[in-house]
Structure 1
Amino acid sequence: MTESSPTRYVIAGGGTAGWMSAAALARFAPPGTSITLVESDAIGTVGVGEATIPQIHLFNRALGLDEGDFLRATKGSFKLGIEFDGWLREGEAYMHAFGSVGRGHGLMPFHQYWLRAQALGIAKPTAAYALNEQAARAIRMHRGPTQNGPPMPYAFHFDAGLYADFLRAFAEGRGVRRVEGKIANVAQHGESGDIAALELDGGERIEGDFFIDCTGFRGLLIEGALAAGFDDWSEYLPCDRAVAVPCENGGEFTPYTRATARAAGWQWRIPLQHRIGNGLVYCSRFMEDDAASEMLLANLDGKPLGDPRPIRFTTGTRRAHWKGNCLAVGLSAGFMEPMESTSIHLIQSAISRFLSVLPNGRGGAATRDWFNAQSRFEWERIRDFLVLHYTANAREGQPFWDHMRAIELPDTLQAKIEAWRANGHIHREHEELFTEVAWFQVFAGQGVEAQGRNPIADALPEPQLRQLLEQTETAIAAEVRPMAHHIDVIKSTIGTRTPQELPA
């Protein structure tokens, strides 16, 4: 390949990661770019990542996808946040809701005034001041502009397999070539060690200039061929197994994900138009596989639509997500528990970062180093946020949760907790994914108490503080009252009054 010739991209593996990569390249790569995706119908995908965060809008809009078409094709529903049930204590729940909580005053963010009000005994739980949580609890939502500001942020629940199919049609319609077959060998250049071609079990050889590894946990290219290395984070996040099963619709058709703490892990509940996605994440040191399946089946809202499917994983990340002429995307890059719905976002983030420095060939060392440093930072900060959920628990007497309270925290998380405890300070470092508002909701919900606050918050006279809280709560209640029910918003979005398979 010469510097002026179009790059030949080869994507190894399909699923959500593969077809998101293919669709993005098909949309944004220069004319003449060759894009080939190799996958085998005989190899399944993990396919349990059905919940997202609001950044998914950026990806779908960049591709030009219509929201109605997308929801119709993927059997999707809306998501306003994530409820954490029992993570502090059994029977107590809080929500990490998207969007703002309260409103600041002057120089100070709302949480500083909330801390002062809490000390005075006049603060209500954060839910009272969060539009998304109030709407979610009422099973209502609104897609357009709100009465008092911009549209409320929302994400989606959807069938990940159907999303991959939707993107496949998009990508193939724009020239992406799909090749059916299993990868039998990864051929490498003798001198550089770069990947030269994928050799399939039927004898076909797929040559390329740049390769994207979407082969899942195997990391067939990034690890199997290039030995990028893997950093195991089990010391912080020891859950190593999951069982997943969909069930018939039942219970409330909630516009939020539910994560329920269980004896040795947690259970997810994700409502779709045609079913509910369920799974139990657990630590095999504290729970047997059969017990995990029994616990999952005993806590479904409807009849199971199959047998629980086991999944084994190790939480952690590749030491290099981009090595030589290969980029790892999705599970080939690493694994994070899905409690905060970051799996699909990490695919999207990797693709976006890659497109910002799209190489003509393998890319330079400086570019790869930058990419890997940015990826490392992002993954570590997400890891810290997940660890906080586990370690700040009060589920005393349960061996798994007792163990999690006692683990040694990453230095970066310890610093964040100490800053919060000292004076309620939350600092969003660079472009880490989770905002100050997200950290505030989890600190408050998990009972991590701040010992002090910024003294500037004390300058607001108490009557004005009370007024700030009361007006915020009243405005949110007035905003939520006329909102449509979740199911009616879906019906209007997908363009039919009687869509089949929707919950009653």
Structure 2
Amino acid sequence: MSARQRPVRRIVIVGGGSAGWMTAAAFGRALSGQSHTITLIESEAIGTVGVGEATVPPIHEFNRYLRIDQAEFLRATHGTIKLGIQFDGWGGAGHRYFHPFGYLGVEMAGIHFHHYWLRHIAAGGDPDHAPYNLETLAARESRFAPMTRHGPVHHAVQFDAAAYARYLRRYAEDKGVVRVEGKVADVRLDPEDGFIAAIALDDGRLVEGDLFVDCSGFRGLLIEGALRTGYTEWNHWLPCDSAVAMPCENEGDLSPFTRSTVREAGWQWRIPLQHRTGNGYVYSSAHLGHDEAEALLRSRLPGAPLADANRLRFTAGHRKAIWNRNCVAIGLAGGFLEPLESTSIHLIQTAIVRLLALLPRDAIDPNVVARFNRDALREYEVIRDFVIAHYALAGRDDTDFWRDVAAAGMPDSLAERIEAFRATGNILFEPGDLFGPTNWYAVLTGQGVRPQSWHPIADGLSDAELASRLAILRRRIAEQLAELPPHVEFLRSLAV
């Protein structure tokens, strides 16, 4: 029986961290009580990247699947609420805009609200759309509760990623996942078809398996080190290849959002947690030295540093196949998009969900593998375009880095989206995309793209009717906002 034809019963995960333990927890939950074995190999001597602290709303779907209580989750991870991202300087010096979660207004007559809003602006209306998005207003006033009388407050979370991994480790081991301490010394391949047969550890032990999940981070010990899958690079459009991260004391800032601030050779994040503030400088090493980047980050910390700097090197892009033979790469082993829109943990989550949906039983079918890879690579490309849009539309020329960014252009797929929006007001997206009309509208208009038209259905309301509906929406959202307690009070109510 060839490796490709044998049943999949032994699942081996290489690497811990968020990717490894999220995978282990989900597989433990899905396969509990069945004949599968799930083994996770990691070494305490090998650190994890562990700087990702911000997420997007679908993280709640993952935690609900695991039946994790939100209050317990926030306590365990020192978490805070995230209602969106504030972008400082991305539309030019001194410019600021907010990219919220949730929805802008409501659909009317089958089209998105922003078309009516564009008509309103063209008639001389106030261009500030914040009164039509609860999450933006709540972020401005640092308020939060999960629900109001009219519905949910859409949000993600900001948390300590290392604490999340530790929490999921306990969860996974309770579900029967076996953790093996050890360093990978060699990857043994089946000579018949090149599938992975076993992992050899540095103490001589062999861990055999049928399906291997590579969560070894940027190294890609299995997907690249053993299988030589290859990598598609996007550094032409996304030139940042380095980051330095450093936590600092929390000076009382518990804002329920992430900040992204333009810097001379990239951008800086600030993420407030309960016990600290996460900070990082994402930059291009061709434009800024590593020591200088660290010094600049230190000089801009909002509080006293709590740890030494953590330096990272990366290349934006993805493996040419995320699933190769009997190996699936999840997390940084599969690809990397800088954390400008907090998508790293989300890409781990969707890879896990996709793999569980297509999990082989009696054989690894090449058609299933091809479908997995097609969907995974499309997701990377769509998110890539959303991230690139921030750079391509920044309109800055104050440093060599930003002049080089302006000269780099953008992918044709992104140019088509922008031109369609500019000409017609239409936002081109597919159902199931992570970023929908509200997200694209916030970023495109936040960075200066002004549509010249709108959907013709938006002309179907009289001026008086449109004004009346806008007033009703504003009033309803103001009422919802008034129901929300301060963010810090919400956290205290959970005894975080």
TM-score by length of structure 1 reads 0.95
Q: Does 1:202 align with 2:166?
A: no
Is the Cα contact below 8 Å between 1:128 and 1:473 reproduced in 2? yes
Is the Cα contact below 8 Å between 2:26 and 2:66 reproduced in 1? yes
Query: Which residue identity is paired with 2:314?
Result: F
Matching residue of 1:444: 445
Residue 331 of structure 1, CA deviation: 0.2
Matching residue of 2:30: 28
Query: Which residue identity is paired with 1:429?
Result: E
Is the Cα contact below 8 Å between 2:396 and 2:406 reproduced in 1? no
Query: Which residue identity is paired with 1:480?
Result: L
Distance 1:237 1:164 in 2: 28
* Secondary structure at 2:483 match in 1: coil
Which residue, out of 110, 114, 117, partners 1:114?
117
Matching residue of 1:492: 493
Moved over 3 A (4+): 1-6
Distance 2:363 2:415 in 1: 38
Residue 465 of structure 1, CA deviation: 2.4
Is the Cα contact below 8 Å between 2:7 and 2:210 reproduced in 1? no
Matching residue of 1:428: 429
Is the Cα contact below 8 Å between 2:80 and 2:158 reproduced in 1? yes
Distance 1:102 1:228 in 2: 45
- After TM superposition, the structure 1 = structure 2 runs for residues 310-349 of structure 1, keeping only pairs within 5 Å, are 310-349=311-350
Is the Cα contact below 8 Å between 1:13 and 1:39 reproduced in 2? yes
Matching residue of 1:502: none
Matching residue of 1:12: 14
Matching residue of 1:258: 259
Matching residue of 1:267: 268
Distance 1:424 1:6 in 2: 49
Residue range with higher mean Cα deviation, 160-169 or 307-316? 307-316
Q: Does 1:44 align with 2:83?
A: no
Are residues 289 and 479 of structure 1, via their aligned partners in 2, closer, same or farther at CA, if it must alter by over 3 Å?
A: same
Residue range with higher mean Cα deviation, 196-205 or 106-115? 106-115
- After TM superposition, the structure 1 = structure 2 runs for residues 92-107 of structure 1, keeping only pairs within 5 Å, are 92-107=95-110
* Secondary structure at 2:243 match in 1: strand
Are residues 104 and 196 of structure 1, via their aligned partners in 2, closer, same or farther at CA, if it must alter by over 3 Å?
A: same
Which residue, out of 51, 56, 59, partners 1:53?
56
Distance 2:80 2:295 in 1: 28
- After TM superposition, the structure 1 = structure 2 runs for residues 28-427 of structure 1, keeping only pairs within 5 Å, are 28-29=30-31, 31-144=34-147, 146-148=148-150, 150-360=151-361, 363-427=364-428
Residue 96 of structure 1, CA deviation: 1.1
Are residues 312 and 361 of structure 1, via their aligned partners in 2, closer, same or farther at CA, if it must alter by over 3 Å?
A: farther
Query: Which residue identity is paired with 1:207?
Result: E
Distance 1:267 1:372 in 2: 32
Which digits, 9 at most, give the CA deviation of each residue in 1:380-403, with x for residues without a partner? 000000000111113233322222
Distance 1:441 1:6 in 2: 45
Are residues 251 and 405 of structure 1, via their aligned partners in 2, closer, same or farther at CA, if it must alter by over 3 Å?
A: farther
* Secondary structure at 1:44 match in 2: coil
Distance 2:470 2:408 in 1: 37
Distance 2:7 2:414 in 1: 46
Distance 1:410 1:273 in 2: 39
**Number of residue equivalences:** 493
Residue range with higher mean Cα deviation, 482-491 or 232-241? 482-491
Is the Cα contact below 8 Å between 1:260 and 1:266 reproduced in 2? yes
* Secondary structure at 1:247 match in 2: coil
Distance 2:17 2:300 in 1: 28
Structure 1 runs not aligned, ≥5 long: 500-504
Residue range with higher mean Cα deviation, 100-109 or 48-57? 100-109
Query: Which residue identity is paired with 2:209?
Result: G
* Secondary structure at 2:321 match in 1: coil
* Secondary structure at 1:246 match in 2: coil
Residue 298 of structure 1, CA deviation: 1.7
Is the Cα contact below 8 Å between 1:325 and 1:362 reproduced in 2? no
Distance 1:446 1:96 in 2: 11
Is the Cα contact below 8 Å between 1:114 and 1:123 reproduced in 2? no
Is the Cα contact below 8 Å between 2:196 and 2:326 reproduced in 1? yes
Residue 470 of structure 1, CA deviation: 2.9
Distance 1:128 1:94 in 2: 14
TM-score by length of structure 2 reads 0.96
Residue 121 of structure 1, CA deviation: 1.8
Residue 455 of structure 1, CA deviation: 2.5
Are residues 343 and 361 of structure 1, via their aligned partners in 2, closer, same or farther at CA, if it must alter by over 3 Å?
A: farther
* Secondary structure at 2:450 match in 1: coil
Query: Which residue identity is paired with 2:20?
Result: G
Residue 472 of structure 1, CA deviation: 2.1
Distance 1:485 1:115 in 2: 32
Distance 1:241 1:70 in 2: 30
Query: Which residue identity is paired with 2:350?
Result: S
Residue 300 of structure 1, CA deviation: 1.5
Residue 251 of structure 1, CA deviation: 4.8
Is the Cα contact below 8 Å between 1:198 and 1:207 reproduced in 2? yes
Instruction: Supply the RMSD in Å over aligned alpha carbons.
Output: 1.6
Residue 5 of structure 1, CA deviation: 6.3
Query: Which residue identity is paired with 1:9?
Result: I
Distance 1:484 1:346 in 2: 32
Residue 314 of structure 1, CA deviation: 0.4
Query: Which residue identity is paired with 2:278?
Result: G
Residue range with higher mean Cα deviation, 402-411 or 260-269? 402-411
Structure 2 runs not aligned, ≥5 long: none
Instruction: State, as a whole percentage, how many aligned pairs show the same letter.
Output: 49
Are residues 198 and 410 of structure 1, via their aligned partners in 2, closer, same or farther at CA, if it must alter by over 3 Å?
A: same
